[in-house]
Homo-oligomer: A and B are copies of this chain.
Amino acid sequence: MLVRPKPGILDPQGQAVESSLRELGFAVGDARVGRVVDLELEASDAAAARAEVERMCEQLLTNPLIESYEIELPG
């Protein structure tokens, strides 16, 4: 799953990436840094897998006040 800072939330890591890239001569606009978490789990079907990962996100993997998440399942 992908976890990103919500729009409007301060992202110091993204700001550091932005300014470092500009110092190196790259012309970049906004940069935002989040996390990618790859997990192995067994589930009966895609819907069950998604529901399980949603519970993990809400209980541990994200801070819903400042982060949003996106779940990608293998095709």
Enumerate chain A interface residues (CB-CB to B < 8 A). 2-4, 14, 17, 20-21, 24, 26-42, 52, 55-56, 59-61
Return chain B residues, CB-CB under 8 Å to A39: 17, 21, 28-31
Q: Would B37 and A33 count as touching, CB distance under 8 A?
A: yes
Chain copies in the assembled complex: 2
Given contact pairs A56-B21, A59-B24, A38 touches B42 in the complex (Cβ within 8 A): no
Closest to A17 in B: B37
Q: Would A34 and B35 count as touching, CB distance under 8 A?
A: yes
Return chain B residues, CB-CB under 8 Å to A52: 26
* Bound Cα distance from A24 to B56, whole angstroms: 9
Query: A31 touches which one: B2, B27, B37 (CB < 8 A)?
Result: B37
